[in-house]
Structure 1
Amino acid sequence: MSAEFNNRLEKLEIDLAHATHTIDELNGVVVEQGKQIDRLTRKLLNMTDQVEELIENVLPGHQIEKPPHY
């Protein structure tokens, strides 16, 4: 094999190693963001339930109804 071919092959291997490393880092970020989204979604649901309960306690005759488009 020629030196030029070996240099090109070595460059491709280096580029692939860097790309693989970047993909692994990005995957870690995506996984952490997914966990954070799950935590925030649970908190939002809990807070929504609390607000609805507070409204029911403050205004006992008031019923929370979804708009007709739901």
Structure 2
Amino acid sequence: MTDLTALEEKIAHLTRTVEELSDVVASQGKEIDVLTRRVAMLMQREAERELDVGDGIPLADQRPPHW
């Protein structure tokens, strides 16, 4: 095996690895977007629920007792 062939094999393996990692990062990015939207929706829902209870200020907007 020549040095050139060995380098070409290494480049091929590295290229495949980079492509696989890129796919994983893209998939995780989509999942993070979905989860971010869900958390925002749940926060909104909880804030609306707290307002419906009639406590006045939603707990999420209140200062902690140690402040």
Which digits, 9 at most, give the CA deviation of each residue in 1:8-33, with x for residues without a partner? 11000000000000000000000000
Secondary structure in structure 1 of the residue aligned to 2:6:
helix
The CA RMSD measured in Å over matched residues stands at 1.6
Which structure has the higher relative contact order (CA within 8 Å, separation 6+)? 2
- Structure 2: where are the runs of 5+ without partners? none
User: Could you say which residue in structure 1 is the equivalent of 2:18?
Assistant: 23
* Length-normalised TM-score, structure 1: 0.80
Whole-Å separation in 2 of the counterparts to 1:47 and 1:10 = 55
Identical pairs, percent: 34
Aligned length: 62
Bigger Rg, which one: 1
Tell me the equivalent position of 2:37: 42
Could you tell me how far 1:62 is from its partner in structure 2? 1.8
Query: TM-score, length-normalised on structure 2?
Result: 0.83
SS state at 2:33 partner: helix
2:5 paired residue among 10, 18, 22 = 10
**Unmatched 5+ residue regions in structure 1?**
1-5
In 2, the alpha carbon distance for the partners of 1:48 and 1:25 equals 35
